[in-house]
Structures are given as structure tokens and as C-alpha cells.
Structure 1
């Protein structure tokens, strides 16, 4: 059975630390990472593109100052990034950006070197179903799902950089306004979304406009790698990914085997001999495909409808003539980032932390220093509605992660004066009556048949399992008598563990921004961010 790498790493498990040291926890290690990054500089070509890209965003003197600093030797960067989800995607997008900002401030204070927060817009991915929707909690019933509903979403393989929002975004905004428009601070946020999310706008442009407006005061800088002016700067990484594919894949496969032996799984599966880059044979805006080796100097395009193939010579020719045909995978993107930028630290979530556990051999192969890996802030929002439900049910926020049936049984046990014993008491009484009898029978039969003891053990285990199921059903039946309690619990779980997952991975910003104000909620997040922590914290607006 495999373990979560990020969870093990955050709790300091030596197995995880052997793959990815927790340097982010130690001030001396942070200083070393900043000093190493300060020896590199942003190229004039990249800086020109950064200035041009950010000039299209919400006005921000702080961002202009950060861009100026990036042009000076000795400035370093704290980088984070995310796919460009509808209405900013899950809440953790905001938490990532805030984490990068607060980490950059902390490193500046600790080392005296200027440190700039940069948000890498992940526009080269093609997984549209992951980003074409957002979920909003509602007081009752299922969350509101707002979606773009592109008919080709499931089959599209083109980078999302070229995807426009389309007419359905208007319908999504209308539904959002109908749901949230009555909230006291909704107007500002809904107007911000409506200005940015226009049918003709590219998804990346709308995303960047909103996030840049939210963090204008903090000067968050944005980088979109899907830019023709940047493609030549990415070409050397793609060239090495192609020419050295076998050596790179072997090193990563060895790393993957070591992770598996330590009880972890690979976050990204390594295809033997395959480059880590994608290729778009029909042009930059066309479908992108992985490459699999078929013979020396020849590659098949994985999942191509016509089973197309391409030679190494053809790939290198396209890389020279039109490098924008090549895009990064999850494992090569950090290498491109750290080739372009003086990255002192990368702020990531659980999946990205697991990526970096795989990446050490690749950094070593390319001769790049690995940046600090810093866990993003993790928050659970306990608004007034949630706190009221917790109080009425007598539960703590942590209790709500307990399986629903167990919670119902626990709540049933609190029922008084109704003639029903708590489920725990029923189970104890039943098992208490049976266990001594089984024990006596086992002792009596031991002299006649020594194997009888094993049969007794198996019987007792089966009885305990059956009784647990019976008692759980009893607890649910008792709890269901109080429908108000059931409804409150379901509403509470909808707020805190929607779809059985952490709130920050499911819900988007609009609900919280409309209730507490865009800037008010953002300020709450920034103030609660504890650099270099990674601990789950509760927000109480």
C-alpha cells in the first residue's frame, strides 16, 4: 500500500526526506537557496516579454517595481503557478499566490536580497475538463456548478492558451449573479468577473486579469510561457529532452523504483525512453502529443488518430524553425522555469511536492540547482454559517471529516430521553455477552482439538465485523429520526468537505469574495499565511 508523499514529507518522515529534504524549514538552508539563485539573472529577452505581458494587466505600481527589480543583478524569485481555471478555479489558487507573496517577503527580510513573487500561468496543458468549471456552495442542496460546456472539452488536445471562453460564460455569470447577487459585498467581485470573463476573451487573459487585480497591491508578477517571443528561449530544454530522452527516462525510472520501494508512488508515470516534451504536428495551436520511441531516430505520436510518427531529424528541424510547436510536461516545466528565472523557492501543493520528489535526477542531469520547495498555505474557511452549524451539532471542524455514517451514529448517541441506547453501548453489551462464552468454549475444547482456538478467533472476528455493521445501521436509523439533525449535518459537510474532499480543492473564490469582499477575504488570507509552514489553518471571516 502506497503512502501520500506530501503528507509524509510535511510530517518529517525520514523516508520522504531522503528524496526531498525539507530545506524550507531551516533559515540557513533558505539563505543558501537565495544566494544560489542570486548568481543567476533574468535575460534581457525574457524581461522584455515579462514587461509586455504584465503591461496588459491591472495597473500596479508594486508590480512595476518588481519588474524593475528583476532587471537588476542579485534579485531572486519565488514562483508558484496553476492552471487557468474558470473564475480562478479552486480556492487553493488564491492560497498559492498569497503563499508566494508572503514567502518572498520573508526571504527578503531574512536575507536582505530583493525577492519577487511570480505566478506561472500554466497555459500549455490541454486538460480542459479540469478547468472549465467552478463550484459554489449554497445554503441548501448541491453546490452550484458553473461551466463553459465546450462540446469538444473531453477530446481537445490543444493547449488551453488558445481556448476562448465562448458564449456559455455569459450563462455561467448570470447563474453566479442569481446565486450570489444578494450578498452584501457581491457587486464589486461580480463586476470584476464580468469585465474579465467575456465570450471572446481567452481563458488565460480572463484569469490573469482577475488575479492581477486581486493582488495589484502586492505586485504579483505574471508569466505566460505560451508566447512566440519566449519559444526560442525554451528550445534548448526541449532539444535536450529529445536528444537525451533515453538517459533522462532511465534516471527518472530509477528514481521511481526507489520511491516505490520506499512505499510511495510516482506522481508522474515515466514512459521508457520517451521525451518529457509534447509536440504539436499541426502547428502551435493544434493538438499536442507525447512521443514514444519506435526505432532509433523515430517516434510515434501517442494517441494520434492516424498513428502518425516523426523522426528525430524532423523534430529538431521544427524546433529550429517553429519552437512554439513544443510544450512542456509536468516534469519538464520546473526545469524550464528555473532555466529562465533566478528561482529561490517554488510554492506548490501536494501533487507538485511529489513531482519534485521525482525531479532531483533531472536537475542533476541538467546541472541546475533545485530551488527550495515550499508547501502552499492550506486553509479551511469557517464562515458564520458554518460556525453556527458546528455549534448546533456540537462538532469541531475536524469532526466533519469523519465518515457521515459514523457522525450520524455519534449524534444519535447524544439523543436523550428517547429510549434508545447509544450505539457504542449496544455494541459493548452484545459483544460483552458473547465474548466470554466464546472464551470459555475455547478453553474447554483446547484439550480435545488444539486447532479449535483458531476457529474461535475467526468466529470472534467475524462476529465483531457483523456487529459493527448492525450497530452502524442501528445508529443511522436512530439518527434519521431527527431529520433536522441530518439536514444540518449534510449542509455542514457540503460547506467543509464537499464531495468528500477538502473545501479548498472544490470551491472557488466567488462565494467568499461576495460574502466578505474581494479585498477583505484576500487580506484575511494574506494575514493568515505563515511562510514555510504548510499547516492547515482555520479562517474565520
Structure 2
């Protein structure tokens, strides 16, 4: 697609199946392959939202709890008019949400975090235009109860990895972020909203709310921290069912077997009990052994009656794992769709029967925006190399060979010579075989040795031609390293600061150029 056909910021859009970047499970889902249709309700087209709206019945009581909790969580934050209005709108029966969730990676973590939130914001704008009688609120769900510190403890900026060192344990949202100060000493150009978030707020969850609100508050984004007693009260029936009846384990195990039978790898493995015990510096699994409930790696023990009383009196101490967190989300939000990456959406396919069991509508599963930022320098290299935007998704070695061969006047292929060699050995065999049939193996071995020599020479020719075209080879290498640093997609490795610090309009450009309902890979111009 020519650049002139698109906006100044949006350079091109590449179909997912031309990017060599996605699993068969994800591609089959988004393409609506019949083998997967029983594992979700409906595909995420904007037209299908009408049916989702009709199906999503959300009680006024839960709306009141949600609005009250959000107002309290934002109590000491400066809110935009758009966010204030959206929190108020959530009380109305005609308001629905589109939600994305993510870990509390420091300094936002990988670039795709930004794309996730851009997707929910743009989806809500498009839905409002399509369905003006309703209101749609973009929501970011902070994974504040997650305890995998290693996954959130670093980010990559200007090619260097920066890590957070702390000995805090438990749910990361409760961590004190002030020990991040050494990173501010090392990167003096960090924006003030990060300094205010990490050095003045008391918890990592508060810090996350602070900087995400600074980046997206004007768009009306609502940020929710589900580590909350009033919200956990809504989840109590699920706690009792899962811990004492194990319904989720049975249902997900059966669905996983069906997916495996259909040829799809499953990613989530349920347990008999899918809750962690959450208290102070602890988030540990609950297991039952010999009639007693244990909190792993602690001395905490409960009889059944004691555990039932603990759930009843302290639901905030029970944290769902990956199997039940999605259900929790849909029980406390008037949500229509979940926006996630390819692995996230695929594991949701294992969960539909859990939603049916708990009489909760299964949300539509929307892919987040996928994008690569092409700086002017890299764009020039692409043009000078004679590459199309689709070309840059090819494996580097294959792409380099293809372009070197296109740009040479020398003969690099020895296929004709190889075929001639084969005909010579065929003649030799025709002479040798009548004399002594045992010579057949010798002729075959010598032929193989000669073919290997020809192929070795051909590789040397290509290697020498690469040296002759060193400028082209280096350009391709630079292009690939920019958009696939270390062999990984840019959006999964680089931090948004790589672009935001030189272009404060970066996020606005993303909002303007990414289309929430256009399921293709977007290439956008950087500065």
C-alpha cells in the first residue's frame, strides 16, 4: 500500500498472516475458523456489539458498588472532566465498558502496553458513533495482585535494560515504589509524571494509576484496582464454589481436552483450588491436604469451617488466579469486550464454560492493536533498500539473500552446474553398474560428495557477494534491529520512552493512526 494512500503517521497495514508473528490458534480465531467457534460467543466486529449489549445484564447494585469504589480509589488524584464523567456514567444502565488488563511493569514496560490502552479508547469512540444511545467507557485493569515481580521489574530504554532491585514480596501492587529512585539518577530525562508517581505515591498500584492517568486521563480512561474488599464481596460465591466444589477445575479441564483434540495447544492449567491467599507480604496458593487447607510456604492452616468464615469475613484475602481473574473482571464491570494480546485471547477460549456455570456473559475477545514505529532514518533505509513494508517481516537471512540476489549482475546460483553434475554421475553409474553392482554405492557416495562441494562453493559465492553489497546488507540489518530488536518484535521489547521523549505527540499519533477494529499490523511513522 502506497504511503500517499494513508495518513502521514500511518505508513502501512499488513495482514496478520503475512507477518510471521502469530500462532495458528490466534489466526484461526480472528479468521473465524469453524473449529474454534464453540469456544466463544461471537467475533469482535463492531456490528456484533449490538448482541453483546443485549446479552450483558449488569445489576444496578453492582454499578453502585463499582462507582463508589472508583471514586474512592481516585480520591487523591487529579481527574480530567472526561474521567469524572465516565465514572458517573457507569451508574447508568446504558453504559458499558471495554477493558484491557496488564501487569504493573515499571515505566509501562513494553511498548504494547500503550497500544492496549489506545485500543480500548479508540474502540469506545467507534462504538459511541455506531450506537449513540449508549455510552462506552475505556477501562484499564491493573494486575495489582500479581506476585511475579521478575516479570515487571525491568524495562528497555535506548538499547539498555534497567532493573528494579527490591526484596519486597507478595502482591506487587502493594510494593513501595520509592526504591526505584536509582533509575531516576541514571536517566535524568524521565518525565515528571513518573517522578511524581514513583517517588511520592505509597504503592506501586497508586503509582501506576498516577502515570497512566497522566498519559490517558484526558481520553476518559478509567483505571481500576480490583484488590478491594467491596469488589471481592461480589466474588464470594465463586470463592465458595471453587474452593469447596472445584467446578472451575472440572470445566476448564474438559474444555482444554476439547481444544487439544481439535489440534490447539492450551496455555492455562487449572487447579482444584484457583485462589491464592493474599495478606500483608504473602500471595500463596491454597491447597487441601488430609482435610486441612494450607497456604503454601507459610504456617497458615484452616479447617473447612474456619476457611468458610475467613471467606465470609475477609474476601479481600482471596485472590483469583489466571483461571478466575477474567470471571472476576466480568462480574464487577458492565463489560462487553476484553482487549488483549494473542496469547491472552487464546487462553480465554479455555474459560467459556466457567462463565456459563456462573451465569455471566462471556465477553467478546478483541485483539489489541499491533504496531511498529518506523523512524525517518529507518524509513529511508527501507526505501533505499528497495523493500516493501511486507518485506521487513521476512526472516532476516532469507530477506538478505533475496535482495542481494536481486541486486547483482553476477551468477550466484549453481543449479545448472549441479544438474549437469548429476547427469555426469548418471552416465558413470550406467558404465559401472553392469561391470560390478557393488560399485553403485561408491558412485552414489562420490556424487553426494561432489554435490556438497558445489553447494559449498555456492554458499561462498553468496557470502562474497554479500561483502560486495555490504551497504545493502547493513541497511537490512539496521531495519530488522530497529523493528525486531534481538529478534523480538519492537513492541514487545522497547519502551514507549524511546519515542515519547523525542516526540511528546507520540501517544496522540497512536490514537489518531491506530484503528481498534482493523485487525492488521500497523506501521506508523516515528520522529
Structure 2: runs of 5 or more not aligned: 1-21
Change (3 A) 1:439 1:128: farther
Change (3 A) 1:80 1:442: farther
What's 1:530 paired with?
Answer: 515
Q: Secondary structure at the match of 2:346?
A: helix
> 1:131 aligned to 2:152?
yes
What's 1:34 paired with?
Answer: 53
Deviations 1:240-293 (A, max 9, x none): 221221x3212211111111111211121233xx1221124xxx1222222344
Q: Matched residue pairs, number?
A: 503
Counterpart selection for 2:326 from 321, 325, 334 = 334
Change (3 A) 1:63 1:200: closer
Counterpart selection for 1:84 from 104, 116, 120 = 104
Q: Secondary structure at the match of 2:219?
A: coil
Q: Could you tell me the TM-score, scaled by structure 2's length?
A: 0.84
2:270–2:323 CA contact under 8 A, matched in 1? no
Q: Could you tell me the TM-score, scaled by structure 1's length?
A: 0.82
The within-5 A match list for 1:89-128 is 89-111=109-131, 112-128=133-149
What's 2:18 paired with?
Answer: none
> 1:367 aligned to 2:365?
no
For residues 465 and 298 of structure 2, the distance between their equivalents in structure 1, rounded to whole angstroms, comes to 56
> 1:475 aligned to 2:462?
yes
1:446–1:453 CA contact under 8 A, matched in 2? yes
How far 1:468 sits from its partner (Å)?
Answer: 6.6
What's 2:267 paired with?
Answer: 267
> 1:253 aligned to 2:253?
yes
What's 1:235 paired with?
Answer: 236
Q: Secondary structure at the match of 1:216?
A: helix
1:82–1:120 CA contact under 8 A, matched in 2? yes
> 1:322 aligned to 2:314?
yes
How far 1:486 sits from its partner (Å)?
Answer: 5.0
What's 1:193 paired with?
Answer: 194
Moved more, 189-198 or 42-51: 189-198
Deviations 1:86-121 (A, max 9, x none): 111111111111111111222222222111111111
What's 2:487 paired with?
Answer: 500
What's 1:433 paired with?
Answer: 420
What's 1:383 paired with?
Answer: 375
What's 1:224 paired with?
Answer: 225
For residues 213 and 110 of structure 1, the distance between their equivalents in structure 2, rounded to whole angstroms, comes to 28
Q: Secondary structure at the match of 1:515?
A: coil
2:26–2:346 CA contact under 8 A, matched in 1? yes
Change (3 A) 1:499 1:15: farther
1:79–1:343 CA contact under 8 A, matched in 2? yes
Q: In angstroms, what is the RMSD of aligned CA positions?
A: 3.5
1:393–1:485 CA contact under 8 A, matched in 2? yes
For residues 30 and 446 of structure 2, the distance between their equivalents in structure 1, rounded to whole angstroms, comes to 41
How far 1:515 sits from its partner (Å)?
Answer: 1.7
For residues 458 and 361 of structure 1, the distance between their equivalents in structure 2, rounded to whole angstroms, comes to 60
